[in-house]
Structure formats: structure tokens, C-alpha cells
């Protein structure tokens, strides 16, 4: 038996029992701050919550009632690990809208696309394997990759998305160092958090590079249908059917049902079904039947158009407010999705500034959450999906007060005047409403 010499950890009698992969599982400081930020007087530009109040509540209730009346015992029972066939059929129709031709046989329904992300990583990644990801990348993906002890290598992106030349160079460099590069994780459309979209020609280049270098592409596309002007280019999966493609009903319908999916080549799909069964036995039958009925009976594309109108208006409100209150800063102009990526003046640090912002009753997600390597201090992610246009304008005004206040302090007293910050990485999973 070990002697418990460390007073800090000896409070947990199992401190010597955890797996190596659990070493980093501790709540971040940012997490504690977000608990405060959920107070109603705070305008939160931090969350990735869709505006579910914009859904047709009566139609969803109608779907639920039909499910209970017609297939109640099936909806209340265990189902198959792969998901119900009629829903998988619908899912192929949804994907067809993004240029993807696929068989329902190759679709696996998951508990949100987050679970697909988790299980694809579980079946492919040994400790130390490299996953390539955009710089920045989705915070929930970074958390999953860390939980399987992957090494995350960020690849540069610009306003047209991931840069193919940078990707190829990185693959070559890492392999020359003896690293095992297994996978590229990419969010091509209306990127979380960067807001940019991968151009059509780059999609072809990236597919070609990854195929040539034998790197699996995991394409995560929760926002693709939520475009504001012209639709997003066809998915990378539409170019290359070797891609593992992740989709979700969380942004186009409702996250409360926890239904997403993964489309994968035959052999991978077989392993994913077994992985789903091991993890949860099966996705919720009830949720699947309800979404299936909703897609059967509702003009779901019209509902997505409604959402697009709402989110377009909110994005415009955010850009207008940024123009009005922070004209000296730069930000991305997303063509869809939920997020704007703001670049701060060099003197400021997004994580150090957050407590002051919350004190001014505005919350955002610091850029540090989206990097596995300590980057992101110069950036903040602003979400326009959940607050209304008035609140967005108020939030940006408050943010400008914080930013300008910090700059004034520095101009008067020098850099020491602002709070210092530990440069540790925020690599734990965020609270779910921040994803």
C-alpha cells in the first residue's frame, strides 16, 4: 500500500488508481467562471446553444404523440446499436442536400455527433498518435482527443479554411520525426470557433493530400445547412467516399434528443456499431422515432430556412455592433453557423480578461479553449446563436467597455496593470452549453 504523503490528493482515496488517460480530467478555471456567467443579467456570447424557441413546438408534440400512439412499445424498448432503419434512410436524404450519396447501411446513429467523435477516436487512436486539426479547433474535439492521449497538431487556416500546403508540409514533417499521423479532424463549414468555410477547390486538394499520405479524414459538419447566403460547397465526403463524416440534428432541430450520426466506409462502420453497443447498448429509440416522424411529417427544410433567417439577423446585429463599438479590431464574417472569431489587440489576453468581462455582465469563450498548444490568447469566440439582436448589441457594447478599459489601463500604467494569467491550456471539456 502506498503512503499518502501528498495532502492535496490524499482526500481522494483513489488518487493512485486512475488511468493515465484520466490525468488531465479536472475542471478548468474558465469552467468555474461560466457558472457565474449563467446568471440572467449576464449577456452570454459564450454558448453554442441553438435557438430552440424558434422550433414549431406543436409539430414536435404532434410527432411525439403519434410515436406513442403508433409505435409506443418499440419507442420505449431497446433498439439496435446502429439505429432504426427509417431514420437512417432520412439521414441519407439530409446528407444528399450537401452533395453526399450514401447508403443507410453505412450510417450509424449516435448520442449526438459528439459520441461519433468519441468513438471514432476510440477505435483509431493509441496514446501518442497524432491528430491534425485546424488552428483553432472545436473545444469538445480537443477534449476527446486528449482523453485518448492523442497528440494534437494544429494546422494553419485562413479566411478560406484549412491551408492545404500547410497540411501536407505538417504531415511530412511529423512523419519524418517518426510520429504516427492517423487522422485529420476538420470542420469545413462555418467553422467552430473560427466562422470560416473551406473553399471548394481546397476540399479537393485536402482529400487528395490525405488520400496520398494515407491520413483518415474525419469531417465534422454540424452547421453546414445553416448558410446565410449561398449554400456551403459540397462536403469533402461528396468528393471522397473514404471520409468519415459526422452529422447532427442538434443544430438543425434540437440537441435535447441527443441524436447525431456518423457515415463511414464499411469496415469502419462495422467497428463503430460494436463501439456504440459497448458504450451505451443503443441510441435512444424514443428520440429516434420522434425525429423520424418529424422528418416524415414536417417541411424540415422550411424550418431550417426559418433558423437561417434568425441566425443571419443575429450575425448582422453582431457585426454592426462590432463596427460601432470596436472598429479598430478585426473579426471573421461567417457565411453561416453560430460563431464570430475576434482578434484582440496584442496587449490583451482573452482568458485574463474574462473575469472583468463577466463583471461587466458579458461572457465569451476565450480563444485558449480552442487550442491544445496554449495558443488562442489573442482571440475570443463570440456566439450569436442564442441571444436576441438587442442583447447581442448590449453584449458587444459591454465587451467594448472592457476592452477599451483594459487598453486605457495599459496605456497609462504599462502591461503590469492588467491581470496576469496562467498560460496553461484549457484542454478539459467545456460545460455542454459552451460547446
**Footprint of a copy of itself on residues 336-375 (CB under 8 A)?**
none
Residue closer to a copy of itself (CB basis): 269 or 398: 269
Classify 281 in phi/psi space as left (phi over 0), alpha (psi -120 to 50) or beta.
left
Grid cell at residue 201: 477547390
302 binds a copy of itself (CB under 8 A): no
Question: Which residue in 92, 114, 137, 418 binds a copy of itself (CB under 8 A)?
Answer: 114
Stretch near a copy of itself under the rule CB under 8 A, chosen from 153-161, 195-203, 218-226, 427-435: 427-435
DSSP H helices, 214-284, are 236-239, 266-280
274 binds a copy of itself (CB under 8 A): yes
147 binds a copy of itself (CB under 8 A): yes
Nearest approach in angstroms of CB 282 to a copy of itself is 4
Residue closer to a copy of itself (CB basis): 182 or 314: 182
Count of CA atoms in the C-beta half-sphere (13 A) of 179: 22
State in Å, rounded, how far the first CA of the chain is from the last one: 41
Sign (positive or negative) of CA dihedral 340, 372, 203, 247: negative
Nearest approach in angstroms of CB 162 to a copy of itself is 21
Nearest approach in angstroms of CB 215 to a copy of itself is 9
**What part of residues 168-207 is at the interface with a copy of itself (CB under 8 A)?**
182
Stretch near a copy of itself under the rule CB under 8 A, chosen from 57-65, 217-225, 229-237, 319-327: 57-65
Nearest approach in angstroms of CB 328 to a copy of itself is 35
Stretch near a copy of itself under the rule CB under 8 A, chosen from 106-114, 327-335, 354-362, 392-400: 106-114
Question: Which residue in 8, 41, 214, 328 binds a copy of itself (CB under 8 A)?
Answer: 214
Instruction: Provide, for the chain, the percentages of residues in helix, strand and coil under a 3-state DSSP scheme, each rounded to the nearest 5.
Output: 50, 15, 40
Question: Which residue in 30, 75, 155, 162 binds a copy of itself (CB under 8 A)?
Answer: 75
Nearest approach in angstroms of CB 305 to a copy of itself is 19
| CA–CA separation, 352 and 327 (whole Å) | 22
252 binds a copy of itself (CB under 8 A): no
| CA–CA separation, 45 and 62 (whole Å) | 33
Q: Which residue has the cell 467497428?
A: 271
85 binds a copy of itself (CB under 8 A): no
Nearest to 114 by CA among 85, 132, 139: 139
Note the Cα 186 to chain centre separation in Å. Answer: 10
Please state whether the peptide bond connecting residue 248 to the residue before it is cis, i.e. omega within 30 degrees of 0. no
Nearest approach in angstroms of CB 325 to a copy of itself is 29
Grid cell at residue 111: 448520442
Residue closer to a copy of itself (CB basis): 161 or 283: 283
Binding-residue total with a copy of itself (CB under 8 A) = 89
268 binds a copy of itself (CB under 8 A): yes
Counting every residue, how long is the chain? 435
Q: Which residue has the cell 445547412?
A: 225
| CA–CA separation, 267 and 263 (whole Å) | 11
Residue closer to a copy of itself (CB basis): 156 or 274: 274
Stretch near a copy of itself under the rule CB under 8 A, chosen from 139-147, 153-161, 199-207, 294-302: 139-147
Residue closer to a copy of itself (CB basis): 148 or 389: 148
| CA–CA separation, 250 and 215 (whole Å) | 28
Nearest approach in angstroms of CB 182 to a copy of itself is 6
279 binds a copy of itself (CB under 8 A): yes
Grid cell at residue 250: 442538434
Nearest approach in angstroms of CB 24 to a copy of itself is 9
φ, ψ (nearest 5 deg) of residue 382: -115, 125
277 binds a copy of itself (CB under 8 A): yes
CB atoms within 10 A of CB 378: 16
Nearest to 218 by CA among 196, 244, 242: 244
Question: Which residue in 3, 267, 302, 327 binds a copy of itself (CB under 8 A)?
Answer: 267
> Contact at 8 Å (CB) between 167 and 175?
no
Nearest approach in angstroms of CB 266 to a copy of itself is 8
Residue closer to a copy of itself (CB basis): 35 or 97: 35
Residue closer to a copy of itself (CB basis): 96 or 281: 281
Nearest approach in angstroms of CB 385 to a copy of itself is 12
Residues 6+ apart with CB under 8 A from 1: none
Question: Which residue in 34, 138, 257, 261 binds a copy of itself (CB under 8 A)?
Answer: 257
| CA–CA separation, 157 and 171 (whole Å) | 15
> Contact at 8 Å (CB) between 285 and 77?
yes
Amino acid at each position: 500500500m502506498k503512503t499518502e504523503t501528498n495532502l492535496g490528493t490524499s482526500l481522494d482515496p483513489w488518487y493512485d488508481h486512475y488511468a493515465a488517460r484520466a490525468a488531465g480530467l479536472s475542471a478548468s478555471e474558465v469552467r468555474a467562471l461560466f457558472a457565474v456567467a449563467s446568471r440572467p443579467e449576464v449577456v452570454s456570447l459564450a454558448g453554442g446553444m441553438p435557438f430552440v424557441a424558434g422550433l414549431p413546438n406543436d409539430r414536435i408534440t404532434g410527432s411525439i404523440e403519434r410515436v406513442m400512439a403508433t409505435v409506443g412499445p418499440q419507442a420505449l424498448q431497446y433498439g439496435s446499436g446502429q439505429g432504426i432503419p427509417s431514420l437512417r434512410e432520412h439521414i441519407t436524404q439530409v446528407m444528399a442536400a450537401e452533395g453526399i450519396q450514401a447508403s443507410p447501411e453505412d450510417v450509424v446513429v449516435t448520442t449526438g455527433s459528439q459520441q461519433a467523435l468519441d468513438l471514432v477516436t476510440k477505435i483509431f487512436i493509441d496514446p501518442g498518435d497524432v491528430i491534425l486539426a485546424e488552428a483553432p479547433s472545436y473545444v469538445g474535439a480537443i477534449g476527446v482527443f486528449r482523453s485518448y492521449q492523442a497528440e494534437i497538431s494544429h494546422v494553419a487556416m485562413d479566411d478560406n479554411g484549412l491551408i492545404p500546403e500547410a497540411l501536407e508540409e505538417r504531415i511530412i514533417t511529423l512523419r519524418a520525426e517518426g510520429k504516427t499521423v492517423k487522422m485529420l479532424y476538420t470542420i469545413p463549414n462555418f467553422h467552430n470557433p473560427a466562422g470560416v468555410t473551406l473553399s471548394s477547390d481546397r476540399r479537393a486538394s485536402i482529400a487528395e493530400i490525405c488520400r496520398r499520405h494515407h491520413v483518415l479524414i474525419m469531417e465534422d459538419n454540424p452547421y453546414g445547412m445553416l448558410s446565410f447566403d449561398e449554400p456551403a460547397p459540397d462536403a469533402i465526403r461528396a468528393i471522397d467516399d473514404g471520409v468519415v463524416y459526422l452529422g447532427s440534428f442538434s443544430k438543425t432541430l434540437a440537441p435535447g434528443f441527443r441524436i447525431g450520426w456518423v457515415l463511414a466506409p464499411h469496415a469502419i462502420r462495422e467497428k463503430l456499431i460494436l463501439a456504440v453497443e459497448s458504450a451505451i447498448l443503443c441510441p435512444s429509440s424514443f428520440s429516434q422515432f420522434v425525429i423520424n416522424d418529424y422528418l416524415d411529417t414536417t417541411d424540415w427544410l422550411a424550418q431550417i430556412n426559418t433558423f437561417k433567417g434568425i441566425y443571419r439577423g443575429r450575425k448582422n446585429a453582431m457585426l454592426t455592433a462590432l463596427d460601432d463599438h470596436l472598429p479598430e479590431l478585426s473579426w471573421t464574417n461567417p457565411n453561416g453557423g453560430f460563431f464570430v472569431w475576434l482578434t484582440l489587440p496584442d496587449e490583451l489576453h482573452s482568458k485574463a480578461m474574462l473575469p472583468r468581462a463577466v463583471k461587466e455582465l458579458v461572457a465569451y469563450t476565450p480563444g485558449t479553449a480552442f487550442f491544445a498548444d496554449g495558443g488562442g490568447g489573442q482571440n475570443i469566440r463570440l456566439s450569436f446563436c442564442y441571444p436576441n439582436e438587442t442583447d447581442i448589441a448590449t453584449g458587444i457594447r459591454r465587451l467594448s467597455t472592457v476592452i477599451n478599459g483594459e487598453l486605457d489601463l495599459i496605456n497609462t500604467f504599462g502591461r503590469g496593470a492588467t491581470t496576469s494569467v496562467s498560460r496553461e491550456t484549457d484542454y478539459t471539456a467545456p460545460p455542454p452549453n459552451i460547446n
